[in-house]
Amino acid sequence: MSEPVYSNTIAGWREWVRLPGIGVPWIKAKLDTGARSSALHAFDIEEFSADTGDWVRFRVHPWQKSEADAVTVECPVHDRRTVRSSSGHVEERIVVLLNVEIHGRTVTAETTLTNRDQMGFRMLIGREALRQGFLVDSDKSFLGGRAPREVRRQNRGRA
Domains of the chain: 18-137 (2.40.70.10)
Split the chain (159 residues) into runs of 10 and give each run's mean pLDDT. Answer: 66 96 93 93 93 93 80 95 81 95 94 84 94 94 86 71
Q: How many C-beta neighbours within 10 Å does residue 15 have?
A: 26
Q: Where are the alpha helices (DSSP H) in the chain?
A: 127-130, 149-155
Alpha carbon distance 52, 4 (integer Å):
30
pTM above 0.75, yes or no: yes
